[in-house]
Structure 1
Amino acid sequence: MAIPPSPISFFPVEQTSSSDYMDTADSVRSRTFTSTNPARRRTTSNGTPAKTSPSLFRSQSFSREIGHAASETYLITRLAFTLLRYLGVGRRWISRLLALGLYAMFLMPGFLQVLHQYFFSSRIRRSIVYGDQPRNRLDLYLPKNIDSPKPVIVFVTGGAWIIGYKGWGSLLGFQLAERDIIVTCIDYRNFPQGTIGDMVEDVSQGISYVCNNIARFGGDPNRIYLMGQSAGAHISSCALLKQAIKESKGESICWSASQINAYFGLSGGYNLTNLVDHFDRRGLYRSIFLSIMEGDESLQQFSPEILIEDPSARNAVPLLPHIVLFHGTQDFSIPPDSSITFVDTLKKVGAQAELILYHGKTHTDLFIQDALRGGKEELFDYIVDYLHAGDAEALANDAVAPPRKRLCPEPLLKLAGLVSPF
């Protein structure tokens, strides 16, 4: 149940219309967008197109950023107050907020570098519209060179179903893009803006957008992989399984589970009925959790481990991709048993699944601290090797690639681990 650190919780969402991206997506290397609509071009007195002043363009861009930042800050603040009315402010929540503040403070040197790159890198396309809901946006992280179709990871971030945000995946996005992998980070409605059904619907719609449009951005539509972390692992696994079930029943679909080459679940929870009491003890109180999950009667409907055991899902099993789950043995937010039992269940029904446990790793080690630490790391190397399997040129480039840059001093990483509320 990862709650991402606060320093990057106010990334502005660019309110960019889908039509703007339809006009510009054909050129993934260009940072400037030129309208093809004559009615939108400024002209001089003799009828020739007027040149846009670089300083005017920068001024307009900066003004848009300020407006987007103000809009997003207002949205998050309003939702935060609504959420506090649900949660109340007790001693347990206050102590966790204090711990979260210390955790974020220790990791600040790394977060600031990621924040700067998020706003100023030329290799990210922020807030591409994929649906008609306010949070239906995704970020696209592009490799330096798109000289051939690249493998694609569709990533769904965590956040306890409450504070998930696409910006949490920026560190993963930039690091994988350095290895010639395109990463798309999907945003989705959180509670109380939406409940679990809305979240699964949003993520499924985002996956559909990627499957049907990624080739225009330089991605290989035949090499699409789905990945989720914490609550994002739960939501994305629900979306994948429900899509496979719909497909097996011959229902109308806009993307196919068979388009996903593999699913990677990091520190996820897959049987909600077994986690209600655990979350309640950790501060995500039963009443709140059941509100998020649309009531006690819906827990099974949104538990992938239970869904896959249903005889009616038998024909969906062959449509599922290879499923790989990762979990730290010292994860106290979502116990590793959650991944262990889900893999056992998947194997029992005939799905291809495997589990990789990391001894001594916590809920955030694999996703945050280890990524900020840089260098070589097992989880990162596993994903890169998996996506580049069979591509001799990519594997050769990986062999000589420099190690990932360290973004945070080791003493601060150690201190963050000591005070972590997760």
Structure 2
Amino acid sequence: MPRFFEDDRRNETRPFVPITLSYTKAANSNWCQQQRPRRAAGGTSRFAIPAGSGHSFPQGVRKAASYTYILITWLRFKMLQYLGMGYKWVTGILALGCYAFLLFPGLLQVGYKYFYSPDIRRDIVYGDQPRNRLDLYLPKNRDGPKPIVAFVTGGAWIIGYKAWGSLLGLQLSERDIIVACIDYRNFPQGTISDMVKDVSRGISFVCNNIADYGGDPNRIFLMGQSAGAHIAACALLEQAVKEARGWKNSWSVSQMKSYFGLSGGYNFPNLVDHFHSRGLHRSLFLRIMEGEESLRRYSPEIVVQDPNIRDAVSLLPPMILFHGTRDYSIPSDSSKSFVETLQSLGVHSQLILYEGKTHTDLFLQDPMRGGRDDMFEDLVDTIHAGDSEALAKYAAFPPRKRLVPEFMLRLARSVSPF
């Protein structure tokens, strides 16, 4: 059995965290605990606006703007804190600030819905570790069991957060799809094995509890974006090996109708130098991945080629990968190579490329542009495949609302650090 699936961590390289960083991290943790919305019995969030409370729409907008600004500022500080003050990171932080500013009109609208929509269940606990929380985006129409997308957000394994999936969650829920955005520990709070464990626990919660929220446990789709695509693929493979070995599990690979990988990386020996050139320094990346000897262990494309786990590979669901051809953060060749490997092993897999699209076009700029975009339509068509009535209904929907003016989207694309 390959080391990818071993639980023995005696040889694991743990990250060194200076005392000054630990103090700051504790301070941030206290701040997050103070800001985290608490739920009363019955799951009602204290952020909800009760009838007759006197909260006006402008007050709600100001509150959502305040949370968004604090979150962006905190993320910029954390990136500087943990990733160093090198030239590339300083320019990257400045570019990130400009990028966020240009997308702010859209982020503000999405943020307001995230905090105040009655159809979002935030901070549902799925495990006993820090950040073992998930958000559920529920359709307004609750008739009949709905398909589910268990979504794992990206963030370079460092700044991932479940709210990053709110735009996707809001839009898919309009198409009668439940979306579960799974949070997980980031580095340095955890390393890659911790992230995979967290995501697997989140998937287990979805599989075993989604029926209580109107979901169909037989129509679950696993999806990840960027680093989240990699973590989700690792969790899926780990589960397949456990099932093939006859281990007792809390969820089954057979419950996944398909895996969707958006702009992911799957072969790290081939990508580590590229990440280094992009600013994710090799030494830092190796600490995240628990040492150079673990790069192959956490590279799904390499793991599936192990002849000792062919029986596990045969259990994998259809694997559908989406990628933009102008993705400079993770080149589209990464998805192409993984699909070719899967196909050579007899796994049903498909690669869908989007000409001229960058790492963030498919996930942020295009959805904020409104109207119809190819990736979203491909996703919905696959999830509702076989339901001609639903597809006809959604085809008649009016185009989605534009969230950001076109000139700001073009500027954001030009300054994007991703």
- Normalising by structure 2, report the TM-score: 0.84
Match of 1:14 among 28, 34, 37: 37
DSSP-derived class of the 1:122 partner = coil
- The answer on 1:242 being equivalent to 2:238 is yes
DSSP-derived class of the 1:379 partner = helix
Correspondence for 1:48: none
* Pairing 1:278-289 to 2, within 5 Å after superposition: 278-289=274-285
DSSP-derived class of the 1:319 partner = coil
Q: Is the 8 A contact 1:138 1:187 kept in 2?
A: yes
Correspondence for 1:317: 313
Structure 1 residues 93, 319: CA separation in 2 closer, same or farther (over 3 Å shift)?
same
Provide the C-alpha distance between the structure 2 equivalents of 1:340 and 1:325, rounded to a whole number of angstroms.
8
DSSP-derived class of the 2:314 partner = helix
Correspondence for 1:331: 327
Match of 1:156 among 152, 156, 159: 152
* Pairing 1:17-166 to 2, within 5 Å after superposition: 20=41, 84=80, 86-166=82-162
Provide the C-alpha distance between the structure 2 equivalents of 1:146 and 1:100, rounded to a whole number of angstroms.
38
1:226-258 CA-to-partner distances (Å, cap 9, x unmatched) read 000000000000000111011111112110011
- The answer on 1:292 being equivalent to 2:315 is no
1:237-293 CA-to-partner distances (Å, cap 9, x unmatched) read 000011101111111211001100000000000011111111111111011000000
Correspondence for 1:412: 408
In structure 1, stretches of 5+ residues that fail to align are 1-9, 25-30, 34-52
Correspondence for 1:390: 386
Q: Is the 8 A contact 1:83 1:192 kept in 2?
A: no
Q: Is the 8 A contact 1:16 1:129 kept in 2?
A: no
Correspondence for 1:363: 359
Structure 1 residues 370, 317: CA separation in 2 closer, same or farther (over 3 Å shift)?
same
Provide the C-alpha distance between the structure 2 equivalents of 1:265 and 1:57, rounded to a whole number of angstroms.
44
**Partner amino acid, structure 1, of 2:310:** R
DSSP-derived class of the 2:232 partner = helix
Provide the C-alpha distance between the structure 1 equivalents of 2:120 and 2:285, rounded to a whole number of angstroms.
34
How many pairs are equivalent? 372
Provide the C-alpha distance between the structure 2 equivalents of 1:145 and 1:254, rounded to a whole number of angstroms.
29
Structure 1 residues 213, 88: CA separation in 2 closer, same or farther (over 3 Å shift)?
same
Q: Which has more radius of gyration? A: 1
Correspondence for 2:11: none
**Partner amino acid, structure 1, of 2:129:** Q
Aligned-pair distance for 1:317?
Answer: 1.9
1:167-189 CA-to-partner distances (Å, cap 9, x unmatched) read 00000000000011100100000
Q: Is the 8 A contact 1:331 1:363 kept in 2?
A: yes
Provide the C-alpha distance between the structure 1 equivalents of 2:275 and 2:385, rounded to a whole number of angstroms.
38
Provide the C-alpha distance between the structure 2 equivalents of 1:349 and 1:14, rounded to a whole number of angstroms.
46
Identity %: 63
Aligned-pair distance for 1:388?
Answer: 1.1
Correspondence for 2:397: 401
1:71-95 CA-to-partner distances (Å, cap 9, x unmatched) read xx79x95x97776454320111111
Correspondence for 1:212: 208
Aligned-pair distance for 1:222?
Answer: 0.7
Aligned-pair distance for 1:397?
Answer: 1.4
- Normalising by structure 1, report the TM-score: 0.83
**Partner amino acid, structure 2, of 1:213:** N
1:284-343 CA-to-partner distances (Å, cap 9, x unmatched) read 101100000000011111110011000121001221110000111100000111101000
Correspondence for 1:301: 297
Provide the C-alpha distance between the structure 2 equivalents of 1:102 and 1:56, rounded to a whole number of angstroms.
36
- The answer on 1:262 being equivalent to 2:258 is yes
